[in-house]
C-alpha cells in the first residue's frame, strides 16, 4: 500500500512539472501558425482603423480690449476705444466614419461652433467637413465630409447587448501624436452622472486607456463593430487612470437617423415629468422587494405619461424591457426609442405591476411660444421673452409648473435690472401680463420707474429700477 502511494505521489509530481514546463513554453515561444497569430488584434486593427479619423477644428472669436465694451451704461463711453480683435481657438479630436458617403460622428465639444473643420484619414487623405447635426447635451455631433465617396466605415452594434468583461479597443489620436490603439475591457454599463460637455450623460465604462485627443474616437468590439464613442475620463492629472466613458452606439444611431432626415438639432422625446431614484429606505414603502426604478414626483398635465394613465407616486422600472434606475437612464432609453415611436413602460402602482404603452413625442409648442425680442424704443432693449409651454419649459429646463411669460434672454439692460433666464414675469407696473405682447406694451411706456413682479424657481420676487 505504501509503495502504491509513493508511486502515485511521484506520478503527480511528474505531471505538475510537465504542466509547468508546458505553461512556461506556451508563454515564451513564438506563435507557430496563422491561427495563433490571428489571436492578436492586428487583423482587427487593420480592418477598423481606416474608418477612424483625426479632426482639426477651429473657430474665430472676437475679443474686446476694454472690459466695459459690453456694459449697457459704460459701453457708450468706451465704444471708440480699442477695436475688437479676432482670436483663433483650435481643438483636436477624433471621429468615426459611419457610411461610405462621408457621414462622421464625433463629440460636440470637439467640433461644436467650429468655423473650419478639417478631417484627416489614416491614409493621409484630407476632407473639409461641416456639422449637420449637433447636440451639446448629449455631446454628439454628426459631420458630412465634402465630396466624399467609397470611404471605409464601421457598422454599429446594438450597445444594449454589450456585457461587462468584453474585450474592446479604443482608437483615436491622443495628444495629437497620431492614430493610436489601446485595449481593455468593458468595466461597467449604465454609468450615469458623469459630467461631459454641459450635461450629465449615460455611458459605457472601459479601462482601455483614453486621453485628450481620443474624444470622438471609436470603441470597438472584437468583431470590429462600433459599440461607443469615446468621450470622457475621470482623472485628476488629465491623463488616463483606467476609467473612461463612451457614448453608446444606440444613441449614435438615433443621431444618424435624424441627420439623414434633415434635422439640424437633435429632437429627443419629452417626458413631461420629474422623478428620483428609489433608495433603499423607500423601497418597502413603495411595495418593492428591492430598490429599483424611479418614483414620479411631478407630472405636466400634457405629459404623454399622464395621458397614458401614469400618476405621481408610480414607480417606473423598465423602458422597452430594459431597466432604468435614474432620470439619466430614463432619458437615454427614451432618446434611443426616438420621437414618433411607442415605448413600453413597466410601472409599479402600489403592489400592482403592469406595462403601459406611451407615445414618444416632442415637447408640444402649444400654446404658441410667440418669442419676442424687445427693441431699442422700450425700457429694456434686447430682452427676449416667450410664453411658457412644454417646448419652452423643456428648452430652458424650467419647473413643470411654470406658466405665463418667461425670460429667454435678459439682454444687457435686463441683466443689470436683475432679470435672469427662466424668470416668469407676472406683472409690470402692477398690471398683469399674460402674453409677450403685454410685456412689450408695458415696457414701451414713458414711466420713470419700472416695477416688475416675477417668480424665480417658485419664489416670488420684485424688481424696481429707474429709467
Q: Are residues 170 and 247 in the same domain?
A: yes
Q: Phi and psi (nearest 5°) for 374?
A: -75, 145
pLDDT-derived band of residue 302, with 50, 70 and 90 as boundaries?
very high
Cell digits for 238?
488629465
pLDDT at 194: 57
Measure the CA angle with vertex 183, ends 177 and 188; round to 5°: 120
Q: State mean pLDDT over 382-398.
A: 94
* 11 in a structural domain: no
Q: Which of 106, 138, 159, 215 is catalytic?
A: 215
Give the Cα separation of 306 and 299 in Å (integer).
7
**pLDDT at 447 exceeding the cut of 80:** no
Location of C-alpha cell 414711466: 447
pLDDT at 95: 94
52: which residues sit within 8 A by CB, 6+ positions away? 94, 95, 96, 97, 122, 154, 171, 172, 179, 217, 218
Closest residue by Cα to residue 274 from 319, 331, 320: 331
pLDDT at 64: 54
139 in active site: yes
Number of other residues whose CB lies within 10 A of the CB of residue 61: 12
Cβ atoms of residues 390 and 272 within 8 Å: yes
Q: Are residues 169 and 225 in the same domain?
A: yes
235 in active site: no
Of 145, 173, 192, the position where a domain reaches its end is: 145
What single-letter DSSP state applies at residue 157? P
**pLDDT at 339 exceeding the cut of 70:** yes
Element spanning 396, H or E: helix 390-396
Q: Which of 91, 135, 139, 314 is catalytic?
A: 139
- How does pLDDT run across 4-59, given as a tens digit for each residue? 444 444 444 444 444 434 443 444 444 455 555 556 788 889 999 999 999 998 87
pLDDT-derived band of residue 219, with 50, 70 and 90 as boundaries?
very high
Domain coverage including residue 313: 273-359
Rg (CA), the chain: 29
Cβ atoms of residues 421 and 409 within 8 Å: yes
Cβ atoms of residues 314 and 355 within 8 Å: no
Of 196, 222, 252, the position where a domain reaches its end is: 252
Location of C-alpha cell 414713458: 446
Cell digits for 101?
458617403
* 352 in a structural domain: yes
Location of C-alpha cell 459630467: 195
As a whole number of angstroms, the longest Cα–Cα distance in the chain is 117
Of 303, 332, 359, the position where a domain reaches its end is: 359
* 117 in a structural domain: yes
Cβ atoms of residues 117 and 105 within 8 Å: no
Question: Which of 45-49, 153-157, 231-235, 417-421 has the weakest average pLDDT?
Answer: 231-235
* 10 in a structural domain: no
Q: Are residues 336 and 294 in the same domain?
A: yes
Give the Cα separation of 462 and 413 in Å (integer).
16
* 292 in a structural domain: yes
* 459 in a structural domain: yes
Q: Are residues 416 and 377 in the same domain?
A: yes
109 in active site: yes
* 317 in a structural domain: yes
Residue-averaged pLDDT of the chain: 84
Cβ atoms of residues 398 and 456 within 8 Å: no
pLDDT-derived band of residue 211, with 50, 70 and 90 as boundaries?
confident
Q: Are residues 57 and 137 in the same domain?
A: yes
**pLDDT at 84 exceeding the cut of 70:** no
Number of other residues whose CB lies within 10 A of the CB of residue 272: 22
Task: Please classify residue 72 by burial: count the beta carbons closer than 10 Å to its beta carbon, then call 0-12 exposed, 13-18 middle and 19+ buried.
Answer: middle
* 353 in a structural domain: yes
Q: Are residues 188 and 241 in the same domain?
A: yes
Beta bridge partners of 228: 219, 248
Give the Cα separation of 216 and 219 in Å (integer).
9
Instruction: Please give the tally of structural domains in the chain.
Output: 4
pLDDT-derived band of residue 197, with 50, 70 and 90 as boundaries?
very low
Cell digits for 294?
424611479
What single-letter DSSP state applies at residue 239? S
**pLDDT at 448 exceeding the cut of 60:** yes
- How does pLDDT run across 432-441, given as a tens digit for each residue? 999 999 999 9
For residue 410, what are the CA distances in angstroms to 231, 293, 438, 467? 33, 38, 17, 16
Beta bridge partners of 325: none
**Residue 337, domain CATH:** 2.30.42.10
In percent, the amount of the chain with pLDDT more than 90 equals: 58
Q: Are residues 378 and 451 in the same domain?
A: yes
Measure the CA angle with vertex 151, ends 148 and 156; round to 5°: 120
Q: Are residues 71 and 131 in the same domain?
A: yes
pLDDT at 5: 45
N residues, the chain = 467
Q: Phi and psi (nearest 5°) for 439?
A: -65, -45
Q: State mean pLDDT over 371-394.
A: 93
Element spanning 362, H or E: none
Q: Which of 106, 109, 300, 318 is catalytic?
A: 109
Q: State mean pLDDT over 333-349.
A: 94
Q: Are residues 141 and 168 in the same domain?
A: no
Cis peptide, bond prior to residue 33, ω within 30 of zero: no
pLDDT at 12: 40
Give the Cα separation of 192 and 391 in Å (integer).
25
pLDDT at 27: 45
Q: Are residues 139 and 52 in the same domain?
A: yes
Element spanning 342, H or E: strand 342-349
Amino acid at each position: 500500500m505504501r509503495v502504491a502511494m509513493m508511486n502515485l505521489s511521484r506520478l503527480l509530481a511528474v505531471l505538475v512539472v510537465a504542466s509547468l514546463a508546458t505553461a512556461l513554453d506556451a508563454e515564451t515561444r513564438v506563435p507557430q501558425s496563422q491561427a495563433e497569430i490571428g489571436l492578436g488584434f492586428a487583423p482587427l486593427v487593420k480592418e477598423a482603423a481606416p474608418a477612424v479619423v483625426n479632426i482639426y477644428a477651429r473657430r474665430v472669436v472676437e475679443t474686446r480690449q476694454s472690459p466695459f465694451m459690453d456694459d449697457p451704461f459704460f459701453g457708450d463711453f468706451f465704444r471708440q476705444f480699442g477695436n475688437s480683435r479676432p482670436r483663433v481657438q483650435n481643438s483636436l479630436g477624433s471621429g468615426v466614419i459611419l457610411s461610405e458617403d462621408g457621414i462622421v460622428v464625433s463629440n460636440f465639444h470637439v467640433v461644436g461652433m467650429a468655423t473650419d473643420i478639417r478631417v484627416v484619414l489614416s491614409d493621409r487623405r484630407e476632407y473639409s467637413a461641416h456639422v449637420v447635426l449637433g447636440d451639446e447635451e448629449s455631446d454628439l455631433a454628426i459631420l458630412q465630409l465634402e465630396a466624399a465617396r467609397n470611404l471605409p466605415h464601421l457598422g454599429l452594434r446594438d450597445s444594449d447587448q454589450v456585457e461587462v468583461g468584453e474585450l474592446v479597443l479604443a482608437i483615436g489620436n491622443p495628444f495629437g501624436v497620431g492614430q493610436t490603439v489601446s485595449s481593455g475591457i468593458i468595466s461597467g454599463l449604465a454609468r450615469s452622472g458623469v459630467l461631459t460637455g454641459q450635461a450629465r450623460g449615460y455611458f459605457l465604462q472601459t479601462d482601455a486607456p483614453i486621453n485628450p485627443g481620443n474624444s470622438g474616437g471609436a470603441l470597438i468590439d472584437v468583431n470590429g463593430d462600433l459599440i461607443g464613442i469615446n468621450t470622457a475620463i475621470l482623472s485628476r492629472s488629465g491623463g488616463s487612470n483606467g476609467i473612461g466613458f463612451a457614448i453608446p452606439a444606440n444613441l449614435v444611431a438615433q443621431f444618424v437617423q435624424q441627420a439623414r432626415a434633415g434635422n439640424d438639432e437633435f429632437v429627443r422625446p419629452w417626458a413631461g415629468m420629474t422623478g428620483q431614484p428609489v433608495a433603499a429606505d423607500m423601497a418597502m414603502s413603495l411595495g418593492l422587494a428591492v430598490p429599483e426604478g424611479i418614483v414620479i414626483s411631478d407630472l405636466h398635465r400634457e405629459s404623454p405619461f399622464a395621458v397614458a394613465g401614469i400618476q405621481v407616486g408610480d414607480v417606473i422600472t423598465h423602458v422597452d424591457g430594459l431597466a432604468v434606475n435614474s432620470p439619466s437612464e430614463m432619458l437615454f432609453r427614451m432618446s434611443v426609442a426616438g420621437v414618433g415611436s411607442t415605448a413600453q413602460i413597466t410601472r409599479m402602482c402600489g403592489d400592482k405591476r403592469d406595462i403601459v404603452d406611451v407615445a414618444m413625442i416632442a415637447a408640444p409648442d402649444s400654446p404658441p411660444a410667440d418669442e419676442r425680442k424687445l427693441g431699442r424704443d422700450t425700457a429694456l432693449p434686447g430682452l427676449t421673452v416667450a410664453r411658457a409651454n412644454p417646448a419652452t419649459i423643456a428648452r430652458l429646463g424650467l419647473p413643470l409648473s411654470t406658466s405665463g411669460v418667461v425670460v429667454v434672454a435678459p439682454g444687457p439692460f435686463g441683466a443689470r435690472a436683475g432679470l435672469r433666464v427662466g424668470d416668469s414675469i407676472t406683472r409690470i407696473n402692477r398690471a398683469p401680463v399674460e402674453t409677450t405682447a403685454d410685456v412689450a406694451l408695458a415696457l414701451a411706456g414713458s414711466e420713470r420707474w419700472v416695477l416688475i413682479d416675477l417668480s424665480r424657481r417658485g419664489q416670488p420676487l420684485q424688481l424696481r429700477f429707474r429709467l
